[in-house]
Amino acid sequence: MFYREAGQFKTSYQSDSQIFPIRQDRIALAALLVLAAVIVPLFATPYLLSAILIPFLIFALAALGLNILTGYAGQLSLGTAAFMAVGAYASFNFIARVPGIPMLLAFVLGGLCAALVGIVFGLPSLRVRGFYLAASTLATQFFVVWCLTKIPYLTNYSASGVVTVQRMQIFGYQFNTPASKYLLVLAVVAFLALLAKNMIRSNVGRSWMAIRDMDMAAEVIGFRPLPTKLMAFAVSSFYCGVAGALYAFAYLGTVEPEAYNLDLSFRILFMIIIGGVGSVLGSFLGAAFIVLLPVMLNMFGHFLGLPTSFASNLELMVFGALIIFFLIVEPHGLARLWQVGKEKLRLWPFPH
Amino acid sequence: MSFFFEVLIGGLLSGVMYALVAIGFVLIYKASGVFNFAQGAMVFFAALTCVGMVDKFHVPMWIAIPATIVVMIALGLAIEKVVLRPLVNQPEITLFMATIGLAFFIEGLAQLVWGSQVHKLDLPIEDVPIPWLMDNFNILVSKFDMTAAGICAVLVIALALMFSKTKVGRALRAVADDHQAALAVGIPLQRIWAIVWSVAGLVALVAGLLWGARNGVQFALTFLALKALPVLILGGFTSVPGAIVGGLIIGASEKLAEVYIGPMVGGGIEGWFPYVLALLFLLVRPEGLFGEKIIRRI
């Protein structure tokens, strides 16, 4: 009943091919954006903003990047954190070495550097697939982190390898309060998410999905596998790179190569499994879930008076069990649950 | 020159240990098409259970080891029942991701039960150079490493015999070739899987004890899974000999690279060199040294 589209007629091609064809979706999204951009910064505490909402948005962006590669193009990657690291350190270096470079341009350039690295390490994907590719993306992970620790130029000759990132500043405005950082991250993430949603509907996205579903068949009907796969690697790495830059600048403040370890890659992989592989919405839902779960478990452990080591091991177990649970019960993740809910709401209160 | 041989032999011996972990992967992949990322966690779990029993309950080693074998078999059965059975017929990637979840679960469980501190593990083998090699060739080779390699060799031969000579081995190979055909001729798929996971658990225990005696039983053991990956790429996912040859190549080249190339680029290249080596190899021969050539049809 709430979700009935009766009476919404499409009378032009334009209205037929818009991103959100159903009016309720458009209204809900607009309401959500207003809530996120106006109400939340007004009322949220600094803790909520800087410890939960900012990481949530950043992880959602990284998950979106991985989702493009794994969910839409079907190339499993375990090197997400490496691409994030490239983005972060490249942005840092651009700002440190190019005087007067605009902040956002540095982020974009950082993302482009990550895209380049992604293309290089995506090259084997033409010859190898599946697990072999997963293993080869691990090479990215170890190699990039090693480069960052061993090449002093990249960390601007800081003795410990730990880098304090520059203040964020756009047109003289300093982003130094949690609320302003949050708004900046929100703007970037919302823009890139919309872009991704559009890209997936376009020719590019269709070619990714064709390669994912059956690469040989896609090749036969005229999709060229190498450019398509490399494009997926490039776009995915770009997203991860920007997410990495935001992670460094808006969340951590200081970065070290170890912040982008294999564990982070796995966490982002978990986000897309739990949220939904091959879904933009799923990236957000998964990120929210993975960011909130440790907080919840911590509170739960604190409430019961459990020691912290117990809680952290419990967290590992819960993560693992949840992954298995989701893969068995709902392989399409939380996004699929939302879809089912939508179908139900469309028919409610009558079952058919 | 004797230094070169020392490094080479040291590398080959650690390669044998990598091969041991890799064989655990191969066993499961061969028999069920599951790429078991949790193998490293199983190695950790097995070693920690064994040491934990000795440390916590002061059980002698010769009781702790059989007890751990029982635990590993129970674990294998549980994994088969809880994780694999509901995921039959899912794509391989789904199964792979499930084993990542499994790895996390097992790591958490092991530390929850036995605590997360480093345990010392004493096996009754001395870690001293073999005098004969020392005297005649002036090469330092640890007795412990040599014994470990010997144990690995025995294990590999036993596994090879099991695969080729016994009824269970024949069933395993049948399941590996084609699940459905094996089911059709009356091979109980689930029982075969349970056997395979139990055997993989045993191999994990051997690997865990040997590695644990060398470096202490600690969380770092789980990273063995990551060390075994390039070995598998090089050797092919479906071949036990491939795992051994791959292990030897990776072990030797990794140590040689660290010693001879490492100083030029700042050291620490052991972490990624095997991967890059394996990657370059993949570009030439995507199925690995001994892997089956996959012919795909639409």
User: What pLDDT, in 10s, does the model give residues A192-209?
Assistant: 999 999 999 999 999 999
Q: CA-to-CA distance for B294 and A243, rounded, in angstroms?
A: 37
Q: What is the pLDDT, as a whole number, of residue B130? A: 67
Separation in Å, CA of A85 to nearest CA in chain B: 16
Residue in B86, B98, B232 nearest the CB of A323: B98
Q: CA-to-CA distance for B173 and B157, rounded, in angstroms?
A: 17
Report how many Cβ contacts below 8 Å link chain A to chain B.
129
Separation in Å, CA of A271 to nearest CA in chain B: 12
Separation in Å, CA of B30 to nearest CA in chain A: 14
| Cβ proximity of A146 and A82 under 8 Å | no
Q: CA-to-CA distance for B66 and B202, rounded, in angstroms?
A: 10
For residue B295, give the chain A residue with the closest CA.
A216
Q: What is the pLDDT, as a whole number, of residue B295? A: 67
Residue tagged 């207003």 (tokens)? A34
Q: CA-to-CA distance for B256 and A139, rounded, in angstroms?
A: 19
| Cβ proximity of A247 and A117 under 8 Å | no
Confidence of residue B7 (pLDDT cuts 50, 70, 90): confident
Separation in Å, CA of A96 to nearest CA in chain B: 24
Q: What is the pLDDT of residues A233-274, one digit of tens each?
A: 999 999 999 999 999 988 888 888 888 888 899 899 989 988
A120-129, A292-301, B41-50, B288-297: which has the minimum mean pLDDT? B288-297
Q: What is the pLDDT, as a whole number, of residue B59? A: 79
Whether A279 contacts chain B with CB within 8 A: no
Residues whose CB is less than 8 angstroms from the CB of residue B139 and which lie 6 or more positions away in sequence, other chains included: B2, B5, B6, B9, B133
Residues of chain B with C-beta less than 8 angstroms from the C-beta of A134: 96
Q: What is the pLDDT, as a whole number, of residue B92? A: 76
More confident position, A4 or B135: A4
Residues whose CB is less than 8 angstroms from the CB of residue B107 and which lie 6 or more positions away in sequence, other chains included: A316, A320, B41, B44, B45, B219, B222
Q: What is the pLDDT of residues B71-82, one digit of tens each?
A: 999 998 898 888
Q: What is the pLDDT, as a whole number, of residue A60? A: 95
Q: What is the pLDDT, as a whole number, of residue B146? A: 80
Q: What is the pLDDT, as a whole number, of residue B118? A: 78
Q: Is the peptide bond before A349 cis (omega within 30 degrees of 0)?
A: yes
Share above pLDDT 90 across residues of chain B, in percent, rounded to a whole number: 3
Long-range contacts of A315-318 (CB under 8 A, 24+ apart): A315/B108, A316/B104, A316/B105, A316/B107, A316/B108, A316/B111, A317/B104, A317/B105, A317/B108, A317/B109, A317/B112, A318/A293, A318/B108
Confidence of residue A61 (pLDDT cuts 50, 70, 90): very high
Confidence of residue A72 (pLDDT cuts 50, 70, 90): very high
Q: Is there a contact between B108 and A314 if contact means CB atoms under 8 Å apart? A: yes
Output the six-digit token pair for A138.
């691990």
Q: How many CB atoms lie within 10 A of CB B133?
A: 18
Q: CA-to-CA distance for A91 and B253, rounded, in angstroms?
A: 35
Pick from A180, A139, A147, A148: nearest CA to A42:
A180
Is B298's pLDDT higher than 60? no
Residue tagged 């014994």 (tokens)? B147
Residues of chain A with C-beta less than 8 angstroms from the C-beta of B267: 150
Q: What is the pLDDT, as a whole number, of residue B135? A: 65
Q: CA-to-CA distance for B243 and B203, rounded, in angstroms?
A: 13
Q: What is the pLDDT, as a whole number, of residue A243? A: 95
Q: CA-to-CA distance for B229 and A138, rounded, in angstroms?
A: 9
Please give the C-alpha separations between residue B30 and each of B36, B135, B193, B240, in angstroms, as whole numbers: 11, 44, 11, 9
The segment with the largest mean pLDDT, out of A181-190, A332-341, B87-96, B261-270, is A181-190
Q: CA-to-CA distance for A61 and A288, rounded, in angstroms?
A: 11
Q: CA-to-CA distance for A97 and A90, rounded, in angstroms?
A: 10
Q: How many CB atoms lie within 10 A of CB A191?
A: 10
Q: In this structure, what are the phi and psi dihedrals at residue A167, rounded to the nearest 5 degrees?
A: -70, 145
CA distance from start to end of chain A: 12
Residues whose CB is less than 8 angstroms from the CB of residue A217 and which lie 6 or more positions away in sequence, other chains included: A210, B298
| Cβ proximity of A195 and A188 under 8 Å | no
A26-40, A168-182, B245-259: which has the minimum mean pLDDT? A168-182
Q: What is the pLDDT, as a whole number, of residue A206? A: 93
* B119, β-bridge pairs: B217
Q: Is there a contact between A217 and B109 if contact means CB atoms under 8 Å apart? A: no
Q: What is the pLDDT, as a whole number, of residue B127? A: 67
More confident position, A324 or A351: A324
For B98-128, the three-class secondary structure string (H helix, E strand, C coil) is HHHHHHHHHHHHHHHHHCCCCECCCCCCCCC
Residue tagged 């995506």 (tokens)? A122
Q: What is the pLDDT, as a whole number, of residue A194? A: 92
Whether A294 contacts chain B with CB within 8 A: no
Long-range contacts of A54-57 (CB under 8 A, 24+ apart): A54/A178, A54/A181, A54/A182, A54/A185, A54/A250, A54/A251, A55/A247, A55/A251, A55/A291, A56/A287, A56/A288, A56/A291, A56/A292, A57/A182, A57/A185, A57/A186, A57/A189, A57/A246, A57/A287
Separation in Å, CA of A345 to nearest CA in chain B: 30
Output the six-digit token pair for A10.
């499409």
What is the Cα A55 distance to its own chain's centre? Answer: 11
Is B133's pLDDT higher than 70? no
Q: CA-to-CA distance for A71 and A272, rounded, in angstroms?
A: 8
Q: What is the pLDDT, as a whole number, of residue B136? A: 67
Q: Is there a contact between A150 and B272 if contact means CB atoms under 8 Å apart? A: no
Q: Is there a contact between A331 and B98 if contact means CB atoms under 8 Å apart? A: no
Average pLDDT over residues A41-47: 85
Q: What is the pLDDT of residues A94-123, one digit of tens each?
A: 988 888 888 889 999 999 999 999 998 888
Kindly report the pTM of this predicted structure: 0.87
Residues within 8 A of A (CB atoms), B 267-296 only: 267-269, 271-272, 275-276, 278-279, 282-283, 286, 296
